[in-house]
Amino acid sequence: MAKKGARTTEMADYEVHVPLQAVLLADSFAQKFRPITLERPKMLLPLVNVPMIDYTLEWLASAGVEECFVFCCAHANQITSHLNKSPWMSQPDFTVSIIESHDCVSAGDALRVIEQRGVVRGDFVLVSGDTVSNMSLTEVLKEHQERRKKDKLAVMTMVVKKSKPSPLTYQTRLGNDELLLMIDPQSKQLLHYDAVREPGSRDSLQGNSIQRHVSLDRSIFHDRPVVQLSNNLQDCHIDICSPEVLLLFTDNFDYQQLRRDFVKGLLSDEIMGNKIFTYEISNEYAARVDNLRAYDVVSQDIIHRWTYPMVPDILCAGPKASMRLERCNVYKEGGVILARTAMIGENTVLGEDTTVGDNSSIQQSVIGRGCTIGKNVVIEGCHIWDDVRIEDYVQLRYSVVCDGATVKKGAILEPGVVLSFRVVIGSEFRVPAYSKISMVPQPTEEDSSDEELEYADVASGRADSPRSPFTEDQSTRNGSISGDEDDTAEGPNWDPIEVGETGAGYRWAVRDGGQEEEWRHSVAPIPPEKIQEIVAANREHDVEEVDYDIRALGGQDSLEEEEDEDEEEEDDFEKEVAETFLRAARGVSGVQQEHVVIEVNSLKLAFNKTFADCAGAMFKAIIDLALEAPHPTAKELLSITKDVFSRWGSLLCKFLKGSDDEHEVLLTFEEICIESHKEFAPLFSQVLHMLYDIEVVSEDAIIAWASEKQYADESDKVFLKQSEKFIQWLKEAPEEEDEDEEDDT
Amino acid sequence: MVGTTSGYEAAVDQFVTKMRRRQVVGSQSSAKLTAELLRLVVSHQRLPSSGQAAALIEAVKAVGVRIIAANPIELALGNIVRRVLHIIREEDVSLASDSILDSTLDSDDEDEFGNVARRSALSAVSVAAATRNTLRAPSLYNLLESVPGTAATQVARVPSATESEARSRSGDRNLMSRKLKHNVIEAITELLQEIDNCHSQVAEQALEHIHQNEVILTLGRSVTLREFLKEAKKKRSFQVVIAEGAPRYQGHMLARELADVDLQTTVITDSAVFAMISRVNMVIVGAHAVMANGGVVAPVGLHMVALAARRHAVPFVVLAGVHKLCPQYPHNPDTLLNDLKSPSEIIDFGEFSDCLDGSPGGSRTHVVNPSFDYVPPELVSLFITDTGGHNPSYVYRLVAEYYSPEDYVL
């Protein structure tokens, strides 16, 4: 709550020219690229030999962004030094400023820090540093701003792109889960945002538990003749935001992730009425490198020039060693030496000063700068970074090999392997599929705060890092690495079962059943066996497949839904009241009657209830309390009830502001007798009498109740009959007029 | 670079970024911007007291290499850089020979000839003549002009400069440097005007080529062509068949523009060119670049059109401003680059996204979107440039007229 006070920015004035600003989050707050990201931040990983962040900055600069704020968290000093070395800091029309923070664990925290700095003055582009795009921002900005002029609540415009998800695996090309978006086709307003596959479900057998039902709010269909529900849109993670977005993050300090918390929160929140809109791009490219599969797919898209002009031969253009494009998408940088018999297949990139030996074949791969590839090597679908040494007769398929790694003679890497920095694979060793090998040992115990984090910089060994014990451990380890880097043969720490006889590195174990999920996000294509398995699993599901009809959903179904919701709310309220009451009744220290009154009053406001509701709920709670004590016979129950009411009746009276409320109490009592606690049924009239005696229920209320019941069906009259005598007595006792009235009716 | 002032560095950087991001479209505007940039470079360049031309050439070359690397596909950039270098060389030579001529005129009446001085002057003149010869195209006229006899008479008339002369000349040096700069800037400004006027210059010749009731076929859109047709329309009535020019479909735009001037147009698909060609009197197209051998780098699809025209013996005419004329030959893989654009111009990413990544082992759908075709010189009937019509076999001669051979390779 204190954060609210820190609000410093004011509403930007839209009349004056505000430079177009962008917020670039240079931390993914995820662990999908581990173990690589333990040593280098994800944004600096090379994507087709160019660091990812450079794609994003290049795009922002060419799209006309004037000020860019780069937010760094994990490995902040590496990103800072990269930017300082790059030409980005000295561009005439494009200023890059770095915002560092070390205690952020999520995008939400990052945005709150940015809000505190008060640097954002107007609408801004919010992207992550791993975005590759060539879209023009002019159109989407214009749309966003025009909408803002008409409707101040249109706080965000989200860029989407058509991309068909796989019908089998329910994931997109980029390895993300298939998204279900509901959009108003006229206003382009986003109405629903959800992943089709239940995220986080660890259905280990199927690997895909599909959410087969969609619940939609009925209000969506109000004054909308058409809504469009689509699963073939890909979220590009490019958002045009108004400054209010930052305020919303500050106000809702529990928002962590942009999509899961913020977007869903906004969509379900009807009180503030903030709206999100979508903008679909068709001819332009935009994608976020979220996982290793996306890394591979986006690399290939770049090689296939979908991202033009963000393609290798243009990005790496320079007077000295420029990248040249040859037939069949083969890109060669200067200084490449190929043996005469080397075969370079389609869609391959060869970095500067790389040599390839005799009879080696390379296909669909990206080879970095300064690599040495021996003879008779087979490389297919791999991403090999800089200064990698691959010896003779090695076979690599669909793997990622980071800087400085060595694969010794005759070793084989099965699909999906990740070799982190400086790892050595021993000769004739076979690395099993989906292994992850790093020189950094896998952190043995992950405390919960690590869950969403890349580790902070290894080299710095920063003391303020929350994970300092681990970092220290790591830096000592690093020392030993640099020691035996040259003679890797003598590495007492390395397990030959993990990396081979002369290898170096730790194999990371797969955690909590992740094995089954591994194939989803790996660089390797999905193996055919897996696909067959899924097909089989889906066929089972198809038997119970339901044909969804959106209109039906919009009509009847959602009506019921809403009622359900009301009921649920009622339950919640009653539960809360009962708990409050019980706290007092059980004598929890310090809780007194007045407290209960205050608390129930606040609940009444929170749930938007009347006094009658409160009285009803309280009455129920009292009855429940009475029932708690053992009551073998009806007589004992009555006496207990009497006791309880004599103690707590006065509390109940606090909520009885008129005969209507008392009436409600009676109805509740009747309900209890019929539905929940039948043991009260025979005691109805006695309890009624008692309530009258202790002045919980007045005469008027009882008579009103009785007269209402007069016309009910026979079944409802049970209690009326039971207490007929009492009512008769009531009517007769005080005045004669009642009798007259009775006669009249 | 020694002596570079930061005055133009920022401008060059900006230009390079712009070119690299492909934010300048069209060879005319690229050429114009390059010429303007080089004019800025020349005017900001501080020159040493001796070897000014060399320093200037060095500076322009350094900038030229950078801007060519920024966008090697736009050949007009290199053309303009080489044109400017040629201008500097030419101005230098003409300035040198002028000063010698001046000194000869001045010292005509003096009679005391120092032998050494005479020899130096003699050599200066012969050097000037030699450079002139290298600058000029090796034409028959040039050969005749520099017949030894005439040169000898010239030399005989040239007396040497005295020592005092030499001193005064060194005093003039400062003035000379300013003069060189001034002349070069003036020449670049002329070049700019030439680039500006190239469309109208080409269009002026329209009436000589298009006759009444002819049918003209073209592909895609080119500004030069549009002006050419508009100019012809003023006097003649004729028809134009426009192949749309997939995948950019600029032919549609051309059709609309020509409709505005009441020209009758027929739009066809690119694949229907062969079917239409038999009814056509002439094919007129624009070009991206003209190579030294007369080959043409032209929008994709034109090779096919040229072959169809050859099959039916229809003249294939290419319109090109002189700034599109390249001194390089197409055999060099460094120069003949194709611009492979994004496949999204051809197919819809969303619709094809599921077959873009192949299943394991299988290959995925590849989409290639080249921008240019190379049309060999034997398929071209005529070039119409701002200096008139030329045969493809004459292009090398034009090249020699506009560029110095030392600049072919920067």
pLDDT tens-digit readout, A230-258? 888 889 999 999 998 998 888 888 888 88
Complex ipTM tops 0.95: no
Element holding B299 (H helix, E strand): strand B296-299
Look at residue B119 in the predicted model and tell me its pLDDT: 53
Look at residue B78 in the predicted model and tell me its pLDDT: 93
Query: Does residue B2 belong to any structural domain of this protein?
Result: no
Look at residue B252 in the predicted model and tell me its pLDDT: 95
Residues B248 and B192 in one domain: no
Best mean pLDDT range from A2-11, A650-659, B306-315: B306-315
> Closest residue of A to B64, CA-based?
A319
B363 vs A contacts (CB less than 8 Å): 346
For A416: left if phi > 0, alpha if psi spans -120 to 50, otherwise beta; the answer is: left
Average pLDDT of the residues in B214-242: 94
Residues B252 and B378 in one domain: yes
Query: Does residue B325 belong to any structural domain of this protein?
Result: yes
Write down the H helix ranges in B136-242.
Answer: 140-145, 148-157, 163-203, 206-209, 223-233
d(CA A596, CA A229): 47
Q: Is 50 exceeded by the pLDDT of residue A528?
A: yes
Residues B33 and B131 in one domain: yes
Going by pLDDT thresholds of 50, 70 and 90, the confidence category of residue A741 is: very low
Residues B277 and B212 in one domain: yes
Going by pLDDT thresholds of 50, 70 and 90, the confidence category of residue B197 is: very high
Give the tens place of pLDDT for each residue, A129-154: 999 999 999 999 999 999 998 888 88
Residues B128 and B211 in one domain: no
Q: Is 50 exceeded by the pLDDT of residue A205?
A: no
Q: What does the mean pLDDT of chain A come to?
A: 78
Q: What does the mean pLDDT of chain B come to?
A: 83
Tell me the C-alpha to C-alpha distance, in Å, between residue B289 and each of A710, B26, B206, B259, B308: 101, 11, 20, 28, 21
Q: Is 60 exceeded by the pLDDT of residue A480?
A: no
Residues B138 and B240 in one domain: no
Which residues of B have a CB under 8 Å from any CB of A? 10, 13-14, 17, 20-23, 65-66, 69-72, 337, 340-345, 348-351, 353-354, 356-360, 363-364, 366-367, 369
Look at residue A525 in the predicted model and tell me its pLDDT: 81
Write down the H helix ranges in B2-114.
Answer: 6-20, 27-44, 52-70, 75-106
Residues B193 and B210 in one domain: no
Average pLDDT of the residues in B350-357: 77
Residues B161 and B216 in one domain: no
More confident residue, A703 or A712: A703
Look at residue A55 in the predicted model and tell me its pLDDT: 93
Look at residue B403 in the predicted model and tell me its pLDDT: 93
Q: Residue type at A453?
A: L
Q: Is 60 exceeded by the pLDDT of residue B8?
A: yes
Average pLDDT of the residues in A486-509: 72
Last residue of a domain, one of B197, B232, B267: B197
A26-35, A107-116, A229-238: the lowest-pLDDT one:
A26-35
Q: Select from A65, A281, A304 the residue whose CB has the most chain B CBs within 10 Å, as the one to mutate to test that interface.
A: A304
Look at residue A469 in the predicted model and tell me its pLDDT: 38
pTM to 2 decimal places: 0.74
d(CA B189, CA B40): 11
- The CATH number of residue B261's host domain is 3.40.50.10470
A305/B21 touch (CB, cutoff 8 Å), yes or no:
no
Query: Does residue B144 belong to any structural domain of this protein?
Result: yes
Query: Does residue B3 belong to any structural domain of this protein?
Result: no
Average pLDDT of the residues in A413-418: 91
Sign of torsion over alpha carbons A204, A205, A206, A209 = negative
Look at residue A744 in the predicted model and tell me its pLDDT: 47
Best mean pLDDT range from A455-459, A519-523, B190-194: B190-194
A327 vs B contacts (CB less than 8 Å): none
Q: Is 80 exceeded by the pLDDT of residue B140?
A: no
Query: Does residue B1 belong to any structural domain of this protein?
Result: no
Which tokens in the block code for residue A202? Answer: 């660890």
B358 vs A contacts (CB less than 8 Å): 525
Q: Is 80 exceeded by the pLDDT of residue A169?
A: no
Look at residue A33 in the predicted model and tell me its pLDDT: 87
- Give which of B237, B235, B238, B234 is closest to B215, Cα–Cα: B238
Look at residue B135 in the predicted model and tell me its pLDDT: 55
Q: Please give the residue range of the domain that contains residue B91.
A: 9-197
Domains in chain B, number: 2
B342 vs A contacts (CB less than 8 Å): 134, 283, 285, 305-308
DSSP letter at A548 equals -
Last residue of a domain, one of B170, B197, B224: B197
For chains A and B, what is the number of CB pairs under 8 angstroms? Answer: 91
Look at residue B138 in the predicted model and tell me its pLDDT: 56
Which tokens in the block code for residue A417? Answer: 């392997």
For residue B162, the number of C-alpha atoms closer than 13 Å in the C-beta half-sphere is: 11
Residues B159 and B18 in one domain: yes
DSSP letter at B104 equals H
For A505: left if phi > 0, alpha if psi spans -120 to 50, otherwise beta; the answer is: left
B344/A285 touch (CB, cutoff 8 Å), yes or no:
yes
- Give which of B272, B246, B279 is closest to B345, Cα–Cα: B246
Average pLDDT of the residues in A576-581: 80
Average pLDDT of the residues in A212-222: 75
* % of chain A with per-residue pLDDT over 90: 25
Residues B190 and B213 in one domain: no
d(CA A675, CA B8): 90
Q: Who among A58, A92, A309 is closest to B10 (CB)?
A: A92
Residues B90 and B108 in one domain: yes
Q: Who among B17, B340, B358 is closest to A305 (CB)?
A: B340
Average pLDDT of the residues in A204-208: 42
Query: Does residue B4 belong to any structural domain of this protein?
Result: no
Last residue of a domain, one of B177, B197, B217: B197
Partner residues linked to A239 by β-bridges: A126, A158
Residues B53 and B69 in one domain: yes
A162/B23 touch (CB, cutoff 8 Å), yes or no:
no
